[in-house]
Chain A
Amino acid sequence: MSKRDLLTEVWRRPAGIRALTEVNNVYVGRYFIATAFTFFIFAGILALLIRLQLAVPDNDLLDPVAYNQIFTMHGTAMMFLVAVPIMEGFAVYLLPQMLGARDLPFPRLSAFGYWCYVLGGILLFSSFLFGAAPLDGWFMYPPLSLSQFSPGVNADFWLLGITFVEISALTAAVEIIVGVMKTRAPHMRLQDMPIFGWYMLVTALMIIFAFPPLLVGDAMLEGERAFGFPFFDAARGGDPVMWQHLFWIFGHPEVYIIFLPAAGIVSTILPVMVGRPLVAHNLFILSAVSTGFISFGLWVHHMFTVGIPHLSLNFFSAASMAVAIPSGIQVFGWIATLWGTRPKMTTPLLFILGFLFIFSFGGLTGVMVASVPFDWQVHDTQFVVAHFHYVLVGGMIFPVFAALYYWMPLHSGRMMSERVGKWVFWLKFIGFNLTFGPLHFAGLLGMPRRVYLHPEELGLGPINFVSTIGAFMMGVAALLFIIDLIRHHRHGPIAGSNPWNAGSLEWAGTTPMAPSGSTSLPPVQCRYPLWEDRSLNDRVQAGEFYMAIPATGGRETMRTGSISGEPEQVIVLPGPTWIPLAAAISVAFMIVGGLLYEGWMILVGGVVTLSLLVRWSWSTDYRHPEEIVNVGMNTRLPTYGSAPDSHAWWGLATALLADLAAYGGLLFCYFYMWTVAPEWPPEGIEATGERLPVAIAAAILILGSVIVQGSVIALRRGHAWIAKLAMPLAALAGLAWIGLELGVALDAWPEPQAHNYPTMAWAVLAYNMLHVLVAVLMALVVTLRLWLGLVTPERSIMIDNTALFWHTTLAFALVGVGVVHFYPLMLQGG
């Protein structure tokens, strides 16, 4: 075997059933896209059922229960199973090669995320088979979603399925952030990164901060449904509006989590179609970043009718309008880019122009609903339905179709039909406007959303009939697309190399894209390398640049400086493995156990998951026998990097940001309850618990953190024996803290179900106990590895990461202890 063949060999997908063990982004990314597209078709069929039911007044095609299930699943699937995953799919599939890497830094994590997503989606859709599909609307407002009003497992399907899918979104986000920051092309500075990378970086950061609060909310809602903890039950001091806050703190950024990748797609494809770089590249980056920030300050505009004081209404109203400015910059930036270019009207370009039209209109109605008095009228009506479909279908589905047409050659090596593509576009574009344009007026004429029928006396028949016709045109468009998609694999024209004459690196090489990505990794110092140097493509394929031959003999990618892009390390990547799939299945087992209220399933699933995770982490701290390898172009790089340089450290740090967001969400709830409760702590309920044991426990936990840090320092100085003896003590300290806290909490609030106050206190404490438990486990694993000689001064990522986790846990716990056991004293004193 020649050395060049080695590259193909190590990246080859295993054959047969073992294909399921593949973790390479070139496959996992496409799995994501294909699965999301499948769910898109399912959810689209649900949409057609909705439109059929509403086509004529007083229709009894569907009964209210079926209708409620259908619209709930349509919204849920489109948001959680289509919009977010398909964008993750594009990022996973395209980013590494576009940025000039071989793969994302944590391939197994991508695969795990994918399997979680598939299983979560199947779980959600399987609810239809049991006649138990969720039916409380995709935002699941309590009390309707509490067991009193939704006694079946419908809501549990939603909560557990969505939790699963959220895990997948978070894993992808960690992957994308670390990928963008640490594994770009050699010498690619941050400012030379393709615009899609920027958009995905902002999106991933938003996922990191937006999804965890919803996870907290899901846990609370399930906790109330399954165990009666009164987070939202007003009769026991809870507040249903708290859920709305949590949901929309997630839900509003979610809209931009969907839109920003799409804007990234448009900003990538449009310059290729018009043959000119994006005008005002930096303004686009600024827009993406500011959209990301502003989007976290808008959530209350989903709650204008809740009865919130006028002052805060006006604040959120103004903030909501402000987000129109970055959108304006982008829209006119795209127009400036296409100005005077006379491009060929290809299908991707048509979809982008369609996007510009529909999204602009959706943006304008978005400004309208940001006006409080106007929102009072149209909130929860078909006007809002029309508005958000303009934003989401215009802002997401149209760019996705552009992307599918544009990047399809990377997958199939062939072009899709331009002729069919035009039909698909016009059917979709006209159908869309016919479906949702009139619905604005249906809302103004008094048609609420989520109604399974509209009485004839409201006179909404004609509008709805037109809307239904439009919906079916979109259905035909989707059908045509699928036919062409299947057809083109065999009959489409061969695409060859760089068929669109694009400037970014995913096209460096021939189509279809090889599993390894391009043959060699070129150094990059500009945004459109294939335009800058017309010979680059051939030279890349000739293997002139870095890593044409696997330096470590296996799968690998290059770690580069976060800002400078200077080559720093060869990351040895894991190859195909069963662990991601097995871990996802065992988590699914656990979740199904939760659905069936089968304790043993939860237990078995939990134990298996935990052991798989330990098995997984066991192999993360890999050290290649060759310390330094030759990666070509006269460059020698180390094969191991220590924290905080290593990608592993970055991964954990990113994950801890998500953790922080979750904890922030929980504390937000605590303080929110304090502001809305008439009395906090309430009369007749223990306020703080015993404080002396709590203070002692806190001191012990601090000691634990000190011990861990001491072990790190000792190891670094070569005194491994100190670490070997000290780490178990840290674990002991953690256990002691849990024990003491449990004792105090059980004594103070033996029955948390009685009232919201003890429930909130327990929630904060339980969150920290869980963290300390994980910290203890990590300390024990490190101890074991220390004794086995697998953690050494030269190979220290494991202990470094454990220390990072310990210190974060300590900080969380001290805040939690302060809030639960001491803060109420200040309230009582004041």
Chain B
Amino acid sequence: MQSALHPAGPEAAEVANLWWAMFVGSILIMILVVGMIAWGLLRARGDEKLAGKTMIYLFGIGLPLVTLTALIYFSVDLTTRSRSGDTVAATIEVVGKRWWWEVRYPGAAPDGSDIITANEIRIPAGQPVEIYLSTTDVIHSFWVPAIAGKLDMIPGRLNRMVIQADEPGEYRGQCAEFCGEQHALMAFMLVAQPPEEYAAWLEAQARPAPEPEDPFLARGRDAFLDAGCGTCHRVRGTTADGVLGPDLTHVGSRLTIGAGTLPNGIGPLAGWIADSQSIKPRNLMPNFNNFDGETLRAIAAWLESLE
């Protein structure tokens, strides 16, 4: 799932082929080197024709010149073809934060505003999409091994790459540039969907959170707002409009929480709220264990309902 050897996009596929070619080539060269050492020590006579400078010119200069020229040719060609392209089916902005990912679809809502989500990127399968990468704090690096290699997110810069997932599927990605305490648990899911499902998802994401009908869910929402969760989190359709943490308007629709740390669901949501510091030590959200048990469940239930 998070593997460069199980490619699901054109760039990753070509690189995987390149890897296997280089791997086989390297094994052959290693056999040559080890074989020559063994032969040279055990069997060869010092006055053989191959001994001396001929060997160096042949294998030390000739061999690398030929293989490297070929490799440079393929490598440069692949570099030049990769990541660029102007016709794209979607534009997505991904912003690295310690230690999660903000994902924006600029102007994708029917009213022309941005759709904002977190830690999950949905794209139409089989179509190229462009991704703009930036950061609001330290350097991060965007990497979905099954789809493409990585590209850094650097303060003061905006990097662009074009990626494509050939088939619908879920592909795990992870931060690849050391970014502090929770670099290890800064993951996300890239979900490629058939284009029509993707369009439906976009439409759903554009809607604000609905007014809960179940009083238990309403109690959860009220507790969420009363506890000040809105200082950091936004839930469109409520007064919560914080921007420090992930937008939770459709948190229930996501596959994971805590940037790929836990599967989504009422249980992990409750556990995360009460004690995220045990699950993901030093993440920037403090523990909220001042609710009574029922209230905690209500908040988790309400969040789970935000699909």
Contacts and interface: CB of A to CB of B under 8 A. Distances in A.
A joins B in a complex: yes
Interface of A: 63-65, 68, 136-137, 141, 143-144, 149, 233-235, 238-241, 276, 279-280, 283, 305-307, 310, 313-314, 317-318, 321-322, 324-325, 328-333, 335-336, 338-343, 353, 356-357, 360-361, 364-365, 367-368, 371-381, 441, 444-446, 448-455, 457-458
A434 B143 CA distance: 27
A254 B4 CA distance: 30
Nearest to A360: B33
Nearest to B180: A144
B33 A335 contact: yes
Contact of B155 (A63, A240, A367): A240
Given A325-B64, A376-B15, A339 B48 contact: yes
B150 A376 contact: yes
A373 B15 contact: yes
Given A283-B56, A321-B68, A343-B41, A446 B155 contact: no
B172 interface: yes
Contacts of A332: 36, 55-56, 58-60
Contact of A373 (B14, B51, B175): B14
Contacts of A361: 26, 30
Given A333-B60, A451-B184, A149 B11 contact: no
B172 to A, nearest CB: 7
Given A322-B68, A356-B33, A307 B152 contact: yes
A371 B4 contact: no
Contacts of B22: 367-368, 371, 374
Contacts, number: 259
Nearest to B261: A455
Contacts of B180: 68, 136, 144, 149
B71 A381 contact: no
Interface string B61-90: 101110010011001101110100000000
B80 A310 contact: yes
Nearest to B182: A64
B63 A328 contact: yes
A364 B25 CA distance: 9
A454 B184 contact: yes
Contacts of A381: 176
B110 to A, nearest CB: 33
Interface of B: 1-5, 11-12, 14-15, 18-19, 22, 26, 29-30, 33-34, 36-37, 40-42, 44-48, 50-53, 55-56, 58-61, 63-65, 68, 71-72, 75-76, 78-80, 82, 98, 133, 137-139, 141, 143, 145, 148-152, 154-157, 159, 172, 174-185, 187, 261, 281-282
Nearest to A341: B46
B273 to A, nearest CB: 21
A276 B41 CA distance: 13
Majority SS at the chain A contact face: helix
B151 A446 contact: no
B145 A446 contact: yes
B75 A305 contact: no
Contacts of B58: 332
A280 B53 CA distance: 6
B44 A317 contact: no
Nearest to A345: B41
B15 A324 contact: no
A738 to B, nearest CB: 34
Given A64-B181, A373-B82, 16 more contacts: A144-B138, A307-B152, A310-B80, A318-B72, A324-B64, A325-B68, A330-B60, A331-B33, A335-B55, A339-B40, A340-B40, A357-B37, A364-B26, A376-B82, A444-B3, A454-B184
Q: Which of A143, A340, A446 has the most CB of B within 10 A?
A: A446
The 8 A-B residue pairs with the shortest CB-CB distance, nearest first, are: A376-B149, A234-B156, A446-B2, A340-B46, A332-B60, A451-B184, A307-B159, A234-B155
B34 A357 contact: yes
Nearest to B187: A455
Contact of B149 (A279, A331, A375): A375
A305 B151 contact: yes
A143 B53 contact: no
Contacts of B80: 310, 314
Given A339-B55, A371-B71, A446-B174, A451 B41 contact: no
